[in-house]
Amino acid sequence: MRIPAKDYTYESFNASLKELLRHHLQPEQGKLGVNLFTVDAEDLDAVICVLEHVGFDVEQHEEILFLTHEYQTYGKRMKSIQYAYFHDSDQILVVFALKSMDYYNSPLVWAAEKGGELAHLRFFPKIFNDLIERTLSFPDAQIVEFKGTKNDTFQSTGEKRSRVLKRKITYEALDGKCALEELTYQYGAVPTQVTFLIPNTVMFKVYENGRFILKDGDYGFFRQEIVHPTLESALQPVKDHKKAKLHTIAVGDRTEIERISVTFTISDRYDYSNFDDFLSMLEDADFSPFNEIKRQGSVVYRSFLSDEKMGAVLSFYSDEQNFVLSPKFGHGLHSLLRFYQFMLQEVDMKTEYTVK
């Protein structure tokens, strides 16, 4: 089932999509994927260049882009088609797929993971928790399935046990809400995908990497009550981190360097004896320090960080509790957001940030 090829505004496209889904969202017939990305592009023409560069054939139908990509599966040549809208004010790309295979077999998956000009709009833990609470506030709403991880994060100066691999959790039952609360409270489990059921209204799944799947129900409700509020919440860290920059400004008859940095603050402190553990975790996450300056017996540390995934370089300073970064080269926004994700997942779930 396809969207007719004609010109659309974003609103007229959603109206057509809503009508189509009345027939499409039937058992064994189809699901709707809504995927959110940040794009390092200033206008729609630049977005088209990014999408063509990663491997799409792009047709512009007024405000909507039709994205096609050919691939092979089991020896058969297939064609995926997706539909995209660019929020130019926030540099957010919303991509719709009527088949999961159209998404998973398209360049979007590897391009967003690889980073650069395109990256997932991730739902950090507070945003994900707000989504869960907001959805469960609707009458009779249930969590029917969830997956999550249990990570070893910050180890204080007195804690010397060895790190272990991430533990994965899968739970499927109608009491998912209670089970998730218990696992979060008792063991620090972090949800990575959750399936919700609001009887007679909607059933959908959400992933922490900015992906929704509408399985059944009212698209209008899903769009207005679920996707829009979550998008607004997820945009705040993007807007905050986008303020960070390193550039020159004219002050009278001289030029000065203006630096706006993001400071990440953890709830405990490192000391000199275990700061190397942090640097090892950093390298395991594909952040490579270079031009390092260390002080013997102190955790005052300066370097540059090369983000091997995103291709950016960040300036980096740390003391025992604060980690200060600003972009120097490349796609700094995506690297800063990836560093924030690293801090939450690997160092301290209570990491907070300020921009100044």
Element (H, E) at 226: none
The phi, psi pair for 76, rounded to 5°, reads: -105, 140
Work out the pLDDT band at 156, boundaries 50, 70, 90.
Answer: very low
Name the domain boundary from 238, 273, 296: 238
Q: What are the tokens at 22?
A: 């009345």
185 and 254, same domain (yes or no): no
- Give me the number of domains the chain comprises: 3
User: Nearest Cα to 92, choosing from 267, 235, 259, 304?
Assistant: 235
Phi, psi of 133 (to 5 degrees): -65, -40
Residue 227 and residue 299 share a domain: no
- Contact residues for 251 (Cβ-Cβ < 8 A; gap 6+): none
Confidence of residue 206 (pLDDT cuts 50, 70, 90): very high
What are the backbone dihedrals phi and psi of residue 121, each rounded to the nearest 5 degrees, phi first?
Answer: -85, 95
Q: Say whether both 249 and 324 belong to one domain.
A: yes
- Asked whether residue 3 is assigned to any structural domain, the reply reads no
Asked if residue 4 is part of any domain, the answer here is: no
Geometric angle at alpha carbon 55, from 52 and 57, rounded to 5°: 60
Task: Give the pLDDT confidence of 292-315 residue by residue, as tens digits.
Answer: 998 777 788 999 999 998 889 999
Outline where DSSP puts E strands in 89-220. Answer: 92-97, 118-120, 142-150, 167-172, 190-198, 202-207, 211-217
> For a pLDDT cut of 90, what percent of the chain falls above it?
60
Question: What mean pLDDT, rounded, does the chain reach?
Answer: 88
The string of pLDDT tens digits covering residues 24-40 is: 776 555 689 999 999 98
CATH number of the domain to which 40 belongs: 3.30.310
In this structure, is residue 334 part of a structural domain? yes
Report yes or no on 268 lying in a domain. yes
Residues 231 and 294 in one domain: no
Domain boundary among 98, 120, 142: 120
Q: Which of 220, 238, 256 is the last residue of a domain?
A: 238
Q: How far apart are CA 259 and CA 255, in angstroms?
A: 13
What's the CA gap between 145 and 137, in Å, rounded? 17
Q: What is the pLDDT of residues 167-188, one digit of tens each?
A: 778 888 777 888 888 887 777 7
Render pLDDT for 1-19 as a digit per residue (tens, 0 to 9). Answer: 689 999 999 999 999 999 9
Query: Both 234 and 256 in a single domain?
Result: no
Among the ranges given (91-95, 103-107, 215-219), the one the predictor scored with the smallest mean pLDDT: 103-107
Give the mean model confidence (pLDDT) for residues 54-80.
92
* Of 36, 63, 44, 83, the residue nearest 228 (C-alpha): 36
Contact 119, 37 (CB under 8 A): yes
* Residue 67 domain boundaries: 10-120
Closest listed residue to residue 144, CA positions, set 117, 116, 122, 173: 173
User: Nearest-CA neighbor of 235 among 83, 36, 97, 41?
Assistant: 36
Q: What is the pLDDT of residues 108-125, one digit of tens each?
A: 888 888 877 899 999 999
Is 99 inside any structural domain? yes
Q: Could you tell me the two tokens for 65? A: 């882009």
Q: Give the model confidence (pLDDT) of 41-52 as tens digits.
A: 889 999 999 999
Calculate what percentage of the chain has a pLDDT beyond 70.
92
